[in-house]
């Protein structure tokens, strides 16, 4: 007996609702913080029934997690061939990160999550897990590039990935302007050395 | 006619009040966020009269700024000789940063400031100015080390300083544990290359 798994095709109406709820989730979170982030506010903002939200997203963390999954699709150069090899793959990921931290919808809710993580253990667990999962692709690309000899052997993939991701987050939160996307390659040079 | 400027010696009682108010400031900010950060709460926490606070610190930002100045004294290796030269100076500064981001009183108020900076222009102006001023010492040390040939010429002092400071801030906010002080030199190696 064999099971053939059909590719899941999302009903377009479901996909539209998911995106509207996702956008509303990030917007309410950015504007009101986690303390003011309620299902009622998200339902009003997305113009959907509260019951729809309760049915599909059982917790506030589920709403946030699904919103980030739906609206922040990360490239996967660890799976694909990229012309230019390991360094180019790092650049693809750091460029994507600068785009996410320039996008106001995605990046404006990060300070609210960081602040809530100080007081709410479930937010801390989500945020730390989310950033580790997203950063794992960068860690893998760095590991493979060091193993293949394309990247310098003194690099520690974990620390190097945090230097790159941390710089992008720092520009967004601790300086007046996010790092422009066209400077992603310059940032990569700080950690990988000159091309 | 000449003016002789006497070194200012702070009255010990004044110094004690300043420190108590500083500690209370950071504690209230960390616990209640900027929205709940009031002169009343700081006065109660520090056990000083509200009038004392209003007299010495005319605004909430003045309280925060003075608390960070009083409680987070940064080393100044740009002024002093340090055995080991430019690299050792960078390590002194990054080590200090890991200490500040491990200290719960200093680091716990940062997420509150980052969150408030999204909504309150005066907090954004303060936070961005403060981080630029503090990071300026690191930028100067990197510039001098590149100019002297001690550090690699491909480094951009501004970007490299943000990769270092951003990594320390990222560990504190986006992972379960801050970067341990004993790993500061490993972080420096990610940006400056091997010693």
**Predicted confidence (pLDDT) per residue in B69-89, tens digit:** 988 888 999 988 888 899 999
Checking ipTM against 0.90, whether it exceeds it is yes
Chain A CB contacts of B115 under 8 Å are 33, 111-112, 114-115
CB B146 within 8 A of CB B153: yes
Residue A3 has pLDDT above 70, yes or no: no
Of A69, A165, A70, A60, nearest to A123 (Cα)?
Answer: A60
pLDDT value, residue A98: 97
What average pLDDT does the segment A22-45 reach?
Answer: 95
CA distances (Å), origin B110, targets A185, B18, B99: 29, 20, 14
pLDDT value, residue A1: 36
| Chain A to chain B Cβ contacts (< 8 Å) | 127
A154 touches chain B (CB under 8 A): yes
Residue B8 has pLDDT above 60, yes or no: no
Long-range contacts of A35-44 (CB under 8 A, 24+ apart): A35/A116, A37/A112, A39/A63
CA distance A36 to B11: 45
Residue from the list A131, A170, A183 with its beta carbon closest to the beta carbon of B165: A170
B122 touches chain A (CB under 8 A): no
CA distance A160 to A192: 9
pLDDT value, residue B172: 97
Residue from the list A33, A114, A167 with its beta carbon closest to the beta carbon of B163: A167
Q: Nearest 5°: CA angle at A128, between A60 and A30?
A: 45
Place of tokens 């290359």: B193
The pTM for the full model equals: 0.92
What are the pLDDT digits (tens) for B84-140? Answer: 899 999 999 999 999 999 988 999 999 999 999 999 999 999 999 999 999 999 999
Of B168, B148, B38, nearest to B91 (Cα)?
Answer: B168
pLDDT value, residue B9: 64
CA distance B117 to B119: 5
A190 touches chain B (CB under 8 A): yes
């Amino acid at each position: 007996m064999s099971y053939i798994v059909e590719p899941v095709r999302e009903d377009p109406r479901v996909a539209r609702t998911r995106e509207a709820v996702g956008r509303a989730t990030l917007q309410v979170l950015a504007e009101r913080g986690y303390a003011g982030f309620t299902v009622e506010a998200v339902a009003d903002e997305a113009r959907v029934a509260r019951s729809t939200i309760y049915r599909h997203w059982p917790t506030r963390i589920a709403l946030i997690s699904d919103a980030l999954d739906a609206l922040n699709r990360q490239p996967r150069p660890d799976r694909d061939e990229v012309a230019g090899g390991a360094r180019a793959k790092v650049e693809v990921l750091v460029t994507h990160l600068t785009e996410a931290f320039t996008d106001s919808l995605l990046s404006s809710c990060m300070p609210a999550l960081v602040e809530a993580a100080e007081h709410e253990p479930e937010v801390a667990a989500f945020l730390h897990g989310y950033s580790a999962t997203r950063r794992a692709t960068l860690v893998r690309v760095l590991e493979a590039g060091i193993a293949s000899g394309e990247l310098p052997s003194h690099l520690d993939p974990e620390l190097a990935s945090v230097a790159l991701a941390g710089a992008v987050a720092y520009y967004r939160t601790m300086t007046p302007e996010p790092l422009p996307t066209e400077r992603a390659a310059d940032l990569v040079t700080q950690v990988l050395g000159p091309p």
